[in-house]
Amino acid sequence: MGSTVSRIQVLPEELANKIAAGEVVERPASVVKELVENALDAGAGSIVVEIRDGGRRLISVEDDGEGMGPEDALLAFQRHATSKIARPEDLYAIRTLGFRGEALPSIAAVSRVTLTTRRRGDPEGFRVDLEGGVIQRAEAAGCPVGTGLVVRDLFFNMPARRKFLRGAKSETDHIAEVVGRAALGVEDISFRLSAGGRELFRVSGNGGLKERIAGLFGRSLLETLIPVERTWGEMGLKGWISRPDTTRATAREILVFINGRPVRDRVVLHALLEAFRFMGPRDRYPVAVLFLEIPPSGVDVNVHPAKHEVRFVDGAAVHQLVSYGCRAALEAAGIPEAGQGKDPSSDFQSMPTPSQRVAQTAWPAESWDKHHFRSQEAPLRLIPFPASEQGLARLPLVGQFHRSYIVLDGGDELILVDQHAAHERIVFHRLQTEIRRGTASFQRLLVPQVVELPPRKGRVLEKHMDSLRSLGVEVELFGEGSAVVKGLPPHLKDVEMVQMIRDLVDELAEMPSSRCMEQGLDRLLIVLACHGAVRAGQTLESDEMRHLLEELDRVPGARTCPHGRPVVGRFPLSAIEKMFHRR
Ligand SMILES: Nc1ncnc2c1ncn2[C@@H]1O[C@H](COP(=O)(O)OP(=O)(O)O)[C@@H](O)[C@H]1O
Ligand SMILES: [Mg+2]
């Protein structure tokens, strides 16, 4: 076999730095983020940021932190040079914002940098000039205590990257967002940002968090925000959230800090949306500033080169802390529960689940990462059926597929109906309507059924017996853990009783308190509907399918099941023809 000689080479440092820069330095705002983080890590009390031309021409960040001696000032530009960790195990106890030792070399590799720095007590300071990562000059210099970094001509040696930068205005906005966020994470440090000599943002070190939020969101919004505070074990949650009637079209105003680090985290976002799920209008996001304190060993910060993602050791615990904390805060603020005062069914039915919404959420200012959130586009795609279209029962029935889907001929589209999801939606709607009208009924079981529960769950059941009765579920408790089910809503037939009661108790156990009951009831109804609905895998006769479709047509806007999964999907003829190369 002919040999192709391929040799492994260590990349020249300049090149390696440029590659790392691709991860860390996406745009001027990422430079600002890294330099501000360094200033914060250095214990600054005041941070002054100045930019020109959206940061493309100049970024300057000055702090009054601990400064560096001459040796450190030179070392700082070497790859993986950091004063913040020394041993692998330090990665699990990170209290600083930085730790990778990559920012300064990466920034220096793609710009012209001047560093001036002086430690307190040193008679003079030190200055280093670099161009494209190569040191041009290093010498003693007079300067105040602290550190100043001036970054000029970003990407001057990477024309392709330079071309991708947006206009000055847009880059300035991103920088303002980065500085505003950084300021939120720390209460007692003053910040100033100016662009082309004009001041854009300023907070003093003693106005407290509220001043910072007002600076970012405006004072009138601040006044409507609801405080959140909750601890759980060693974890703590603090912050503010908007009332459900104050919403935004994007997640831009959901700011999350973990141990002071601004992050974009899906677990926290999901939990927050979950807390708002039955309240706010769909497709909208609340405003929130949330600070989570988690022991450093419980969170891995070494996940993303730009450090804005983290991984939790116990994500479920974090999720519960956030979702209960926010729900309890809404409750305490006397927010009317789910759907009161508006037509509950219309809002609820087309509400995507928090998971779907998290998947759809692209965090702003991070175009780099957006593709992570976009779903893969399959060539033949199931398109959700519009809620406005009814009349499924009138379409020619093709049959049942996989004993789970009803297949319909929609003329210029092939239509599939998920039988379980459809029935679930129907049962849910019936139960919900009756309960809201106060006409919920129950049917006595011919033979009461006994369900054994662990004592802890028995106590939960006992506490909520009345709410179950209001749903038409009649239960009595014998001893610590034996429940006897005597009656059920008439719509539920052939249910797996044991599993259903256990699921109900699990939901009950999760409910923060009886004051959330309306929202809680919906969750219980979902359990009932799920158990009461025909299963996937169950053969249906034509008339059963037709009957189901007729009922589905009567449920307004029923295009998702109560869990938020689609009920009806369609394959357009055009897509099918494409698949067979007819077009
Ligand atoms: N503003 C600053 N004040 C004092 N020291 C700094 C400052 N910026 C950087 N340094 C020093 O330079 C080192 C390298 O910085 P950087 O490349 O951002 O890596 P990291 O922050 O991950 O350690 C830091 O560990 C710190 O010791
Ligand atoms: Mg750093």
Of 31, 41, 119, the residue with max ligand 1 atoms within 8 A of its CB, to mutate for a pocket test, comes to 41
Give the pLDDT score at 269. Answer: 92
CA of 156 to the centre of ligand 1 (A): 23
In whole angstroms, what is the distance from residue 216 CA to residue 222 CA? 9
Which residue has better confidence, 136 or 558? 136
In whole angstroms, what is the distance from residue 497 CA to residue 532 CA? 10
CA of 522 to the centre of ligand 2 (A): 47
Give the pLDDT score at 85. Answer: 79
Give the pLDDT score at 553. Answer: 87
User: What CATH topology corresponds to 13-208?
Assistant: Heat Shock Protein 90 (3.30.565)
Q: Who lines ligand 1 at CB under 6 A?
A: 34, 38-39, 41-42, 63, 65-68, 76, 81-84, 98-104, 147
CA of 29 to the centre of ligand 2 (A): 14
pLDDT band at residue 41, thresholds of 50, 70 and 90? very high
- For residues 431-458, give the mean pLDDT: 84
> Which ligand approaches the C-alpha of residue 43 most closely?
1
The helix/strand/coil state of 201 is strand
CA angle 493, 498, 501 (to 5 degrees): 85
The string of pLDDT tens digits covering residues 207-219 is 788 888 887 778 8
Give the pLDDT score at 513. Answer: 58
CA of 76 to the centre of ligand 1 (A): 6
Q: Whose CA is nearest to atom 7 of ligand 1?
A: 38
Closest atom of ligand 1 to CA, residue 96: 21
H or E stretch including 235?
A: strand 235-241
Least confident of 77-91, 105-119, 411-425, 462-476: 77-91
> Which ligand approaches the C-alpha of residue 37 most closely?
2
Which residue has better confidence, 7 or 373? 7
CA of 41 to the centre of ligand 1 (A): 8
pLDDT band at residue 336, thresholds of 50, 70 and 90? low
Neighbours of 151 (CB within 10 A): 26
CA of 38 to the centre of ligand 2 (A): 5
224 residue type, one letter:
T
Which residue has better confidence, 278 or 322? 322
The string of pLDDT tens digits covering residues 93-148 is 778 888 878 899 999 999 999 999 999 999 999 999 999 999 999 999 999 999 99
> Which ligand approaches the C-alpha of residue 102 most closely?
1
* Residue 289 zone, left/alpha/beta (φ > 0; ψ -120 to 50; rest): beta
Of 46, 47, 82, 302, the residue with max ligand 1 atoms within 8 A of its CB, to mutate for a pocket test, comes to 82
Give the pLDDT score at 245. Answer: 82
Give the pLDDT score at 345. Answer: 36
Q: How far apart are the first and last CA of the chain?
A: 46
Residue 183 near residue 215 (C-beta atoms within 8 A): yes
Least confident of 438-442, 456-460, 500-504, 567-571: 438-442
Q: Whose CA is nearest to atom 27 of ligand 1?
A: 83
Q: Whose CA is nearest to atom 10 of ligand 1?
A: 38
Beta bridge partners of 263: 256
Of 104, 120, 301, the residue with max ligand 1 atoms within 8 A of its CB, to mutate for a pocket test, comes to 104
pLDDT band at residue 369, thresholds of 50, 70 and 90? very low
β pairing state of 58-63 and 146-152: antiparallel
370 CB-contact burial (10 Å; exposed 0-12 / middle 13-18 / buried 19+): exposed
Considering the chain, what is the average pLDDT of its residues? 83
Give the pLDDT score at 142. Answer: 93
Residues of the chain above pLDDT 70, percent: 85
CA of 62 to the centre of ligand 1 (A): 13
Domain 392-568 matching CATH 3.40.190.10: the answer reads: no
β pairing state of 46-52 and 190-195: parallel
Give the pLDDT score at 363. Answer: 57
Q: Whose CA is nearest to atom 9 of ligand 1?
A: 38
CA of 269 to the centre of ligand 2 (A): 26
> Which ligand approaches the C-alpha of residue 79 most closely?
1
pLDDT band at residue 341, thresholds of 50, 70 and 90? very low
Residue 259 near residue 299 (C-beta atoms within 8 A): yes
Beta bridge partners of 193: 49, 201
Copy the structure tokens of residue 292. Answer: 């989570």
- For residues 82-98, give the mean pLDDT: 79
β pairing state of 254-258 and 288-293: parallel
CA of 97 to the centre of ligand 1 (A): 10
Residue 516 near residue 386 (C-beta atoms within 8 A): no
Least confident of 39-48, 366-375, 450-459, 542-551: 366-375
Closest atom of ligand 1 to CA, residue 61: 1
In whole angstroms, what is the distance from residue 125 CA to residue 143 CA? 6
Is a pLDDT exceeding 80 seen at residue 222? yes
Q: Whose CA is nearest to atom 19 of ligand 1?
A: 101
Of 32, 38, 151, the residue with max ligand 1 atoms within 8 A of its CB, to mutate for a pocket test, comes to 38
pLDDT band at residue 56, thresholds of 50, 70 and 90? very high
Give the pLDDT score at 282. Answer: 66
> Which ligand approaches the C-alpha of residue 40 most closely?
1
Beta bridge partners of 570: 383, 415
Candidate CATH numbers 3.40.50.800, 3.30.230.10, 3.40.190.10, 3.10.20.70; the one for domain 225-371? 3.30.230.10
Is a pLDDT exceeding 80 seen at residue 52? yes
Residue 479 has what DSSP assignment?
T
pLDDT band at residue 400, thresholds of 50, 70 and 90? very high
Provide CATH 3.30.565.10 ranges for the chain.
13-208
CA of 507 to the centre of ligand 2 (A): 45
Residue 408 near residue 417 (C-beta atoms within 8 A): yes
Is a pLDDT exceeding 80 seen at residue 573? yes
CA of 49 to the centre of ligand 1 (A): 17
> Which ligand approaches the C-alpha of residue 83 most closely?
1
Q: Whose CA is nearest to atom 21 of ligand 1?
A: 98
pLDDT band at residue 32, thresholds of 50, 70 and 90? very high
CA of 127 to the centre of ligand 1 (A): 15
Residue 106 near residue 24 (C-beta atoms within 8 A): yes
> Which ligand approaches the C-alpha of residue 104 most closely?
1
Which residue has better confidence, 431 or 341? 431
Give the pLDDT score at 343. Answer: 34
Is a pLDDT exceeding 90 seen at residue 73? yes
Closest atom of ligand 1 to CA, residue 39: 1
pLDDT band at residue 172, thresholds of 50, 70 and 90? very high
pLDDT band at residue 374, thresholds of 50, 70 and 90? very low
Provide CATH 3.30.230.10 ranges for the chain.
225-371
Which residue has better confidence, 13 or 468? 468
* Residue 287 zone, left/alpha/beta (φ > 0; ψ -120 to 50; rest): beta
In whole angstroms, what is the distance from residue 393 CA to residue 414 CA? 14
Give the pLDDT score at 280. Answer: 62
The string of pLDDT tens digits covering residues 249-275 is 888 889 999 998 889 888 899 899 988
Provide CATH 3.30.1370.100 ranges for the chain.
392-568
